[in-house]
A = this chain, B = another copy of it.
Amino acid sequence: MRFGVLGTGTVGRALATKLVDVGHDVCMGSRRAGNDKAVAWAAAAGERASQGTFADAAAFGDVLFNCTSGAASLDALTAAGEEHLAGKVLVDVANPLDFSHGMPPTLSPCNTDSLGEAIQRAFPATRVVKALNTINADVMVDPSSLPGDHVVFVCGDDDGAKRDATSVLGELGWPPGRVVDLGDISAARGTEMYLMLWLRVMRSLGTPHFNVALAR
């Protein structure tokens, strides 16, 4: 399968590398083709890896991952082009963290809206699935590095898109029983607002290498 990964940061590189490792073709997109990190990633990742603009990556992929920073996501997706996003599953991994007022970051939007919803509104023909934004990049692509049945949350308005996303999550190492469907895309408020707790747990544990399991 062909994937477009938008974003060249830690999350984008981790997901793109894993997708290549399990046998897929991946194009990493950034603001400009030839981005240093994307070029280095593509060179290291082998012949199934390529890089280009956001539009190149979006046009290439059957399934897309938004791994841009939350504050830049709507601009990045606009640059990717509505025509390249239409009809496709877009897994939105971004968190709308606002560092402009210093540390700790706040969320924007928050409480009465979410980035996931904003993306779905801006691109109504795109099948947005919010997922993986509650998990450190290392754990995203190697869930068995942590013990127990810790979980990944998904939400979105399109049930077929959530099934497709769940299948891709399976290839990343998440069995279906550990994928928790929270319903429509408005649940992105919940998974994004959880970041404020995640950041404090990270500080308390002294590591981002953790995740939550559900005792029930």
Contact = CB atoms under 8 A, between A and B. Distances in A.
Interface of A: 101, 104, 106-107, 110-112, 146-148, 150, 153, 155, 180-183, 186-187, 189-191, 193-194, 196-201, 203-205, 207, 209-216
A148 B112 CA distance: 33
Contacts of A215: 146-148, 150, 210-213
Q: Please indicate which of the listed interface residues A146, A190, A199, A200 has the most CB atoms of chain B within 10 Å of its own CB.
A: A200
A136 to B, nearest CB: 11
A196 B204 contact: no
A121 to B, nearest CB: 18
Contacts of A183: 200, 203-204
Q: Please indicate which of the listed interface residues A110, A147, A181, A183 has the most CB atoms of chain B within 10 Å of its own CB.
A: A110
A213 B148 contact: yes
Contact of A200 (B104, B187, B199): B187
A205 B210 contact: no
Contacts of A197: 153, 182, 190-191, 193-194
